[in-house]
Amino acid sequence: MKYDTDLDKCQRIVELETMVDKLIKEKAYAEKSAELLTFIMENSVDTLWHFDEQFRIVYVSPSAYQITGLSPAEMEGRRLFDFLSPASVEIVMKGYARRQALMERGERWERATYIVQFVNKDGEYIWAEAVVNPIFDESNKLKGYNSIARDITERHRMEQEFLQLEAQNRAIIEAIPDLIVKFNRQGDFLFCKHPKDSQFHLITPALLKAGVNARDFFPADALPRVMSAIEQTFIHGKHYYRAELIYMGEKIFVDVRYVKINDSEVLALVRDITEQRKIEESMELLRVTDLVTGIYNRSYFETDIVRIQVDDDCQIGLFICDVDGLKLINDTLGHIQGDNILKLVADILESGVHNPDYVARIGGDEFAIVLFNPTHARMESLNQYYVSQIENHNCQSPHLPLSVSFGWTIDNNSNIEHIVKTADNNMYRTKMYKNQSVRSSIVKLMMKALEAKDHITEGHADRMGDLLDNIGRKLEFSQAQLADLRLFANFHDIGKVGIAESILKKPAKLTDEEMLIMRQHSEIGFRIARSSPELEPIAEWILHHHEHWNGEGYPLGIYGEQIPLSCRILAIVDAYDAMMSDRPYRKAMGKKDAIQEIKRCRGTQFDPAIADLFINLILEDKS
**Domain-located, residue 284:** no
Whether 444 is covered by a domain: the verdict is: no
Q: Are residues 422 and 488 in the same domain?
A: no
Domain stop point among 225, 245, 278: 278
Beta strand pairing status for 358-361 and 265-272?
unpaired
Domain that holds residue 360: 292-434
Q: Are 339 and 244 within one domain?
A: no
Q: Is residue 283 included in any domain, yes or no?
A: no
| Mean pLDDT over the full length of the chain | 84
Is residue 163 domain-resident? Answer: no
Distance from CA of residue 350 to its chain's centroid?
A: 31
| Residue (of 201, 267, 210, 203) closest to 234 by Cα position | 267
Q: Tell me the β-bridge partners of 266.
A: 183, 260
**Number of domains the chain contains:** 5
Exposure string over 577-610, b if 16+ CB within 10 A, otherwise e: bebeeeeeeeeebeeeebbeebeebbeebbbeeb
Q: How far is it, in rounded angstroms, from Cα 137 to Cα 407?
A: 119
User: For residues 518 and 530, what is the distance between their CA atoms, to the nearest angstrom?
Assistant: 20
Taken in order 276, 281, 286, 287, the sign of the CA dihedral is: positive
- A 10 A CB-CB count for 498 gives 23
Q: What is the pTM of this model?
A: 0.54
Ramachandran assignment for 459, one of left (phi > 0), alpha (psi -120 to 50 degrees), beta (any other): left
Q: Looking at residue 541, which CATH number applies to its domain?
A: 1.10.3210.10
The reported pLDDT for the residue numbered 202 is 47
In a domain, 366, yes or no: yes
Decide if 129 contacts 147 (C-beta within 8 A): no
Based on the domain organization, do 415 and 502 belong to the same domain? no
| Residue 319 belongs to some domain of the structure | yes
Residue 429 in any domain: the answer is yes
Residues lower than pLDDT 50 in the chain: 1, 202, 455-457
For the sheet with 250-260, list strands across it: 189-193, 178-184, 265-272, 250-260, 238-247
161 part of a folded domain: no
DSSP 262: S
67 CB-side CA count, 13 A:
30
The answer to whether 526 and 543 have CB atoms below 8 angstroms apart is yes
pLDDT digits (tens, 9 = 90+) for 520-578: 999 988 988 887 777 888 899 999 999 999 999 999 999 999 999 999 999 999 999 88
The residues, any chain, with a CB within 8 Å of residue 180's CB and separated by 6 or more, are: 173, 191, 192, 193, 267, 268, 269, 270
Spatial CB neighbours of 440, under 8 Å, sequence gap ≥ 6 = 532, 533, 534
Does 34 share its domain with 52? no
Shared-domain flag, residues 489 and 595? yes
95 touches 116 (CB < 8 A): no
Q: DSSP characters for 553-577?
A: -SSS---GGGS-HHHHHHHHHHHHH
Q: Find how far residue 184's CA is from the centre of its chain.
A: 38
Residues 350 and 410 in one domain: yes
How does pLDDT run across 250-304, given as a tens digit for each residue?
Answer: 788 888 999 999 999 999 988 888 888 888 888 888 899 999 999 999 999 999 9
Amino acid at 573: V
Residue ending a domain, choose from 434, 468, 492: 434
**Residues composing the chain:** 623
Say how many CA atoms lie within 13 Å of 466 toward its Cβ: 10
| Same domain, residue pair 4 and 106 | no
Helix H, strand E, coil C: the string for 17-79 is HHHHHHHHHHHHHHHHHHHHHHHHHHHCCCEEEEEECCCEEEEECCCHHHHHCCCHHHHCCCE
Does residue 603 share a domain with residue 507?
yes
Looking at residue 360, its pLDDT comes to 97
33 plus 96 within the same structural domain? no
Tell me: do 30 and 86 sit in the same domain: no
DSSP 326-389: HHHHHHHT-HHHHHHHHHHHHHHHHTT--TT-EEEE-SSSEEEEEEES--HHHHHHHHHHHHHH
Task: Examine the domain organization and report whether 375 and 273 are in the same domain.
Answer: no
Question: Can you give the CATH number for the domain in which 229 is found?
Answer: 3.30.450.20
Residue 31 shares a structural domain with residue 53: no
Query: Which of 386, 405, 434 is at the close of a domain?
Result: 434
CA distance 508 to 517: 16
